[in-house]
Amino acid sequence: MKSTDVLIIGGSAAGMVAAVTARAHWPEKKFILVKKQKDVMVPCGIPYIFGTLGTSEKNLMPVDVMMEKNGVESLVDEATSIDTEKKIVSFASGEQIGYQKLMIATGSTPVKPKWLLGADLDNVFVIPKDRQYLDGIKEKLGSTKNVAVIGAGFIGVELSDELKKHGYNVTLVEKLPHILNLAFDADFAEKIHEMLTERGVNVIAGTGIKSVMGNGKVEEIELEDGKKLPMDAVILSMGYKPNTELAQKSGIQVDESGFIAVDEYMRTHTPDVFAIGDCAQKRDFVTRQRVATMLASTACAEARIAGMNLFNLHVVKTFSGTIAIYSTALDGTGFGTAGLTEQRANEEGIESFVGVFEGVNRHPGSLPTAHKQIVKLIAAKHSGVIIGGEVIGGTEAGELTNVIGLAIQNRMSVNSLLTMQIGTHPCLTASPAAYPLIKAAEQISNKMLKLMK
């Protein structure tokens, strides 16, 4: 029987980063990473293979190269059971591998809801991180015309825009009142909705899908409001569920939401077994509630924490909980969100103050590359602690969102932002006199001052 010091199950972002990070900390240990498929997709790049990238070939994550470079043995196989007493994993090929430390990074699978009539018709697709399946969608979509994308989270929005670019007639359907409803407040979501519409996507929000109809394959969809739309294909982007069957049947504790229970260092309740990425339990940084955040960036952060602390606590973690930080783009317009939205804060019973500043991402605004920039900050009403932020701007929006994320992680208050030091440049940022984070913080500070009078 084969044996190793460190065994990693899963070769997407979390598995890969865990292997590389742990290897740097424990170079004397032997590592094996087992992935289900040879080719691994860049997870966030998947919507772009349908348009901008044009092919899955251009969206490969260089896992094998990275493993070889870092001296990690990489195998293609599927784990079928874990004996946590004997510390042995069995694989579909019949192989067994003994481990000293095990990292489970089995990811997530797209949801195909059971209540959805017609979900098994031909040309109804989901978006897994599976190259062959994705190539299959591209092929089958081929000559079709009318495509419905169901669920307007980030993947749904990106996919709709990319398919539209590629010439399809795209209808994006969202059950919640607004697209991107969990990531952005209504005021921001409406702006993105408007942009998508201008770009030619038919956006329907506030009513979900009821059923898919057709003789063998998709011909029509029916919405909850009774409307029927002729359709050639349906892509479901209705969320993902953690892949935790393997853990569950091996006696590793899984919570009631289906995530593997972990502590702050990504240790499961079973000795020497870690879980990271989409399959691992997360708690929100602010509310301390369990959340189902599934982001490659979060997965990588967890992988680094687990990797650095595999055999003992090398790097003490300086924060607790997950800050959901997302961004996306429609060509030159970037959108980002970090932490809680105002709506979510409200739902969680957190009284908040918000500041919204509209400006431009260049100074003077007469520069030819100038783009409108809007920043919303959300702070706890009484302490002024920043709990969230949203950004619309140019392509700087991604890193500007990271500035907000870092402010949240450092538990900064609006007052700290007011005195914050920044760098600015005409061709790269807003003016120092109208830097959007500071101007939004000022609005909150003024509301707090009034409250105190």
- Report 307-326 residues binding a copy of itself (CB under 8 A): 308, 314-319, 322-323, 325-326
Identified binder of a copy of itself from the candidate list 3, 37, 52, 109, rule CB under 8 A = 52
CA distances from 131 to 36, 61, 292, 296, 404 (A): 12, 11, 24, 17, 34
Report the residue number, 61 or 170, with the smaller CB distance to a copy of itself.
61
Report the residue number, 1 or 316, with the smaller CB distance to a copy of itself.
316
Identified binder of a copy of itself from the candidate list 76, 111, 213, 420, rule CB under 8 A = 420
Q: Are 48 and 59 in contact (CB under 8 A)?
A: yes
Question: CA-to-CA distance for 262 and 309, rounded, in angstroms?
Answer: 14
DSSP-derived letter for residue 30 is -
Give residues 240-299 in contact with a copy of itself (rule: CB under 8 A). 285, 295-299
Q: Is 429 in the site for a copy of itself (CB under 8 A)?
A: yes
For the beta carbon of residue 62, count every other beta carbon within 10 angstroms. 12
Report the residue number, 135 or 399, with the smaller CB distance to a copy of itself.
399
Task: Tokens for 110, please give them.
Answer: 């797209």
Report the residue number, 170 or 338, with the smaller CB distance to a copy of itself.
338
Binding mask 127-166 for a copy of itself (x = CB under 8 A): ----------------------------------------
Question: CA-to-CA distance for 197 and 191, rounded, in angstroms?
Answer: 10
**Which span (196-204, 232-240, 349-357, 427-435) binds a copy of itself, by CB under 8 A?**
427-435
Q: Is 119 in the site for a copy of itself (CB under 8 A)?
A: no
Identified binder of a copy of itself from the candidate list 294, 343, 431, 440, rule CB under 8 A = 431
Give residues 398-417 in contact with a copy of itself (rule: CB under 8 A). 398-403, 405-407, 409-410, 412, 415-416
CA distances from 167 to 54, 158, 199, 305 (A): 12, 15, 12, 43
Question: CA-to-CA distance for 107 and 61, rounded, in angstroms?
Answer: 15
Burial (CB < 10 A; 0-12, 13-18, 19+), residue 439, is buried
Identified binder of a copy of itself from the candidate list 10, 31, 35, 59, rule CB under 8 A = 59
Q: Is 117 in the site for a copy of itself (CB under 8 A)?
A: no
**Which span (28-36, 132-140, 217-225, 330-338) binds a copy of itself, by CB under 8 A?**
330-338
The structure tokens 């010439």 sit at: 167
Binding mask 208-237 for a copy of itself (x = CB under 8 A): ------------------------------
* Nearest approach, Cβ of residue 127 and a copy of itself (Å): 15
**Secondary structure class of 235 (helix, strand, coil):** strand
Identified binder of a copy of itself from the candidate list 10, 11, 336, 359, rule CB under 8 A = 336
Question: CA-to-CA distance for 386 and 405, rounded, in angstroms?
Answer: 9
Report the residue number, 48 or 168, with the smaller CB distance to a copy of itself.
48
* Nearest approach, Cβ of residue 275 and a copy of itself (Å): 17
- Residues 6+ positions from 126 with CB-CB distance below 8 Å: 110, 111, 112, 235, 236, 237
* Nearest approach, Cβ of residue 212 and a copy of itself (Å): 29
For the beta carbon of residue 301, count every other beta carbon within 10 angstroms. 21
Report the residue number, 7 or 386, with the smaller CB distance to a copy of itself.
386
Helix spans in 324-435 (H): 342-347, 397-409, 414-418
Q: Is 19 in the site for a copy of itself (CB under 8 A)?
A: no
**Which span (29-37, 117-125, 205-213, 359-367) binds a copy of itself, by CB under 8 A?**
359-367
**Which span (20-28, 106-114, 125-133, 135-143) binds a copy of itself, by CB under 8 A?**
20-28
Closest CA to 99 of 115, 83, 110: 83
Question: CA-to-CA distance for 196 and 410, rounded, in angstroms?
Answer: 34
**Which span (19-27, 197-205, 235-243, 250-258) binds a copy of itself, by CB under 8 A?**
19-27
**Which span (165-173, 203-211, 228-236, 428-436) binds a copy of itself, by CB under 8 A?**
428-436
CA distances from 386 to 47, 81, 157, 357, 450 (A): 32, 44, 27, 15, 18
The structure tokens 């969102």 sit at: 401
**Secondary structure class of 350 (helix, strand, coil):** coil
For the beta carbon of residue 131, count every other beta carbon within 10 angstroms. 19
Give residues 367-396 in contact with a copy of itself (rule: CB under 8 A). 367-369, 394-396
Report the residue number, 92 or 406, with the smaller CB distance to a copy of itself.
406
End-to-end CA distance of the chain: 74
The C-alpha angle 30, 36, 40, rounded to 5 degrees, equals 90
